[in-house]
């Protein structure tokens, strides 16, 4: 029987767990060991990591993205014996003081006036170097590195629970307080404020009013005002890990067509959650999901939009699709977000050995119980507010 894993800490646990108590330094050492094994198995001398997602992964939560600066602030050069940070003299104080303090990294610094490739070329010269980009005649090891990222450590899972609470709160609080006549952009601003207030970076936001999602599945937001209903969706990141949530709010009772579509979408999500088990191929999970669409007469809908993905240090690590044959494992995270017409819901779960763990609070929002193979799975329902 599929069960809800009981690994979630109580809600009164402090939102900001002291990183030293969760042994970030040990997490970095363990990941260095994984890289050593990867280097040895392939006969590589070093690994060059330039993508912010991989910087965050190996440094156990450091941020090299620059948050809108246009290019990463730093890169990593990893050998069996050393962990080097490559940065210019403008960015190195921020990286070492704020992002990776006392974690056993050494600095290779260049003047900000010198192009980044000069130092990179010097480090790679004469070595067999793999990288996460394949640039500068390095070996493209992006798939191998991604596979290492997918197995979330205990520290990463603890952080995802925190981020999950913050993202869910931001989406649900915005849905409870938005007002008729507000524009999608105004609502998105409220949602973004709630995320940034908790130091969660908004990676994706959707505010879709009055059925817009039926036509534009990947809509963001506009200046159109809210008249009747609103779908809010967000992907947020902190410490590099991402969590997503989607909720729907209606002013007055929703139409019968919206209710029917939403309930069918909830069945799709519940089915996806139920069959998200270790050793299940992602393609097999997609097959289960697509059959529910067909069973309820919505066989066209899954063809109109992606249905879910493995989530982690990227909002989409790997898509859940008929062509993705990777086996799911315990300690992976999934973001499932089915859509039927204007109806959309979505949540992030952790896969456990004997069940799953929803990365959202289980109280305070209307729940819709869905039975799959005799097991009741709680999905978020629509929130109905007074006019």
Q: Which residues contact 189 (CB under 8 A, 6 or more apart)?
A: none
Is 19-150's fold the same as 154-385's?
Answer: no
Report the pLDDT value the prediction gives residue 387, as an integer from 0 to 100: 79
Question: CATH 1.10.3720.10: does it fit domain 154-385?
Answer: no
* pLDDT (0 to 100) of residue 6: 46
Q: How many Å is the Cα radius of gyration of the chain?
A: 22
One CATH from 3.40.605.10, 3.40.50.300, 3.40.50.2300, 3.40.350.10 for 19-150: 3.40.350.10
Q: What is the pLDDT of residue 19?
A: 47
Q: Six-digit token pair at 370? A: 């869905």
What pLDDT does 11 receive?
Answer: 42
Closest CA to 212 of 245, 174, 183: 183
Give me the average pLDDT of each 10-residue run along the chain (387 residues).
45 47 86 98 98 98 85 96 96 95 95 94 96 95 97 96 97 97 98 98 97 94 97 98 98 96 97 97 98 95 96 98 97 97 96 93 88 95 93
If we measure between CA atoms, which residue out of 33, 60, 66 comes closest to residue 47? 33
What are the residue ranges spanned by the domains of the chain?
19-150, 154-385
């Amino acid at each position: 029987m599929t069960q809800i894993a009981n690994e979630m800490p109580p809600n009164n646990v402090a939102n900001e767990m002291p990183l030293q108590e969760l042994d970030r330094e040990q997490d970095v050492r363990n990941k260095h060991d994984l890289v050593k094994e990867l280097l040895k198995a392939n006969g590589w001398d070093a690994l060059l990591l330039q993508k912010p997602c991989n910087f965050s992964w190996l440094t156990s939560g450091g941020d090299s993205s620059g948050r809108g600066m246009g290019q990463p602030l730093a890169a990593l050069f990893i050998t069996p014996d050393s962990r080097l940070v490559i940065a210019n003299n403008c960015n190195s104080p921020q990286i070492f003081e704020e992002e990776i303090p006392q974690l056993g990294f050494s600095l290779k610094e260049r003047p900000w006036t010198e192009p980044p490739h000069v130092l990179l070329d010097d480090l790679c010269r004469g070595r067999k170097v793999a990288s996460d980009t394949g640039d500068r005649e390095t070996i493209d090891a992006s798939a191998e590195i991604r596979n290492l990222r997918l197995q979330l450590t205990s520290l990463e899972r603890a952080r995802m629970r925190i981020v999950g609470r913050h993202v869910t709160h931001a989406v649900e609080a915005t849905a409870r307080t938005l007002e008729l006549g507000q524009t999608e952009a105004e609502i998105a601003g409220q949602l973004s404020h709630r995320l940034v207030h908790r130091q969660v970076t908004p990676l994706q936001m959707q505010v879709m009013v009055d059925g817009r999602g039926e036509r534009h599945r990947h809509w963001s937001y506009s200046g159109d005002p809210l008249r009747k209903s609103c779908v809010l969706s967000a992907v947020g990141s902190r410490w590099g890990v991402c969590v997503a949530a989607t909720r729907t709010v209606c002013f007055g009772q929703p139409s019968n067509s919206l209710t029917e579509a939403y309930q069918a979408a909830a069945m799709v999500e519940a089915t996806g959650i139920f069959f998200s088990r270790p050793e299940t191929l992602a393609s097999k999970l997609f097959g289960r999901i697509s059959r529910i669409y067909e069973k309820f007469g919505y066989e066209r809908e899954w063809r109109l939009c992606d249905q879910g993905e493995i989530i982690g240090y990227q909002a989409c690590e790997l898509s859940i699709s008929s062509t993705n044959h990777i086996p799911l494992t315990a300690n992976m995270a999934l973001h499932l977000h089915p859509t039927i017409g204007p109806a959309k819901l979505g949540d992030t779960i952790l896969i456990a050995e004997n069940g799953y763990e929803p990365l959202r609070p289980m109280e305070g929002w209307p729940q819709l119980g869905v039975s799959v193979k005799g097991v009741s799975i709680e999905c978020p329902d629509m929130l109905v507010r007074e006019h």
